Amino acid sequence: MTFSFSLVLVWLDLAGVFFFAVSGSLLAARKQFDIIGSLLLASVVSLGGGVIRDIIINAGPPVAFTNPAYLAPPLLATVLVYFLFSSVQRFTSLLVLFDAGGLALFCITGTLKALAAGMNPVAAVLLGVTTAVGGGLLRDITANEVPQLFDPKDIYALPAFAGAASTAILSLTGTFTAVSATAVTAVVFAFRVTAWRRHWHAPLAVRGWHRLGLGTAENGR
């Protein structure tokens, strides 16, 4: 990995951090948290997945703590949401779009970082998925909601898995380039957003069960 390539990786990672941070501040706004809660939730969702990844790789303190640049996106997101946001209607759409952007970037950067740290390909894909879904999972757990990850009327983890697996294959076959990376990002983003818009869903955990009671208190929401 050349120096310029790892610099691109840091910028992509910071972009993913920013997207997730905005989703955190938007959720804080929807839950009527204050501006400090907005900053905290933005930090948890944007830095949490990467911190978990770095703790698991176990090669020194997480980059979010050693590189202060990682603190800029949550601060920026909190300020932007505070000043620019005014309409209640578009919350969920915006939250999903920013979340999907973070997901698309993190499943790539997480997998590449794990491969660069010498993890085996299966573990690298797992860590890519963990990086991508971990922050959102922490966000929902912290805000005391049933994680979006488990919403049976939506598909969330599969796009991240597809992106992480593609990244690992491209990287191991030496075909991971700016073009293929952009393609993976676009496909994961489109997959995630379309799954949400069209209410794509996977089969329930038990074969043959009807989807009765979904959307009611029964499914834990």
Which residues contact its own copies (rule: CB under 8 A)?
25, 28-29, 31-38, 40-41, 51, 55-58, 60-62, 65-66, 68, 71, 78, 81-83, 85-86, 119-120, 122-123, 126-127, 137, 141-147, 149-150, 152, 155-158, 201-209, 211, 213-214, 218-220
Task: Determine contact, residues 56/130, Cβ cutoff 8 Å.
Answer: yes
User: Whole-number minimum distance, CB 203 to its own copies, in Å?
Assistant: 5
Residue 196's alpha-carbon distances to 76, 79, 82, 209, in angstroms, are 27, 27, 26, 22
Using alpha carbons, select from 48, 37, 145, 30 the residue that is nearest to residue 90: 30
Nearer to its own copies, 2 or 218 (CB): 218
CA 54-59-61 angle, 5° bins = 65
User: Whole-number minimum distance, CB 180 to its own copies, in Å?
Assistant: 25
Nearer to its own copies, 1 or 118 (CB): 118
Residue 126's alpha-carbon distances to 83, 110, 138, 173, in angstroms, are 37, 9, 17, 19
**What is the greatest pairwise CA distance in the chain?**
54
The secondary structure of residue 188, as a DSSP letter, is H
Nearer to its own copies, 8 or 154 (CB): 154
Task: Determine contact, residues 200/147, Cβ cutoff 8 Å.
Answer: no
Neighbours of 71 (CB within 10 A): 16
User: Whole-number minimum distance, CB 125 to its own copies, in Å?
Assistant: 10
User: Whole-number minimum distance, CB 178 to its own copies, in Å?
Assistant: 29
Nearer to its own copies, 133 or 181 (CB): 133
The alpha carbons of the chain give a radius of gyration, in whole angstroms, of 17
User: Whole-number minimum distance, CB 108 to its own copies, in Å?
Assistant: 19
Nearer to its own copies, 174 or 210 (CB): 210
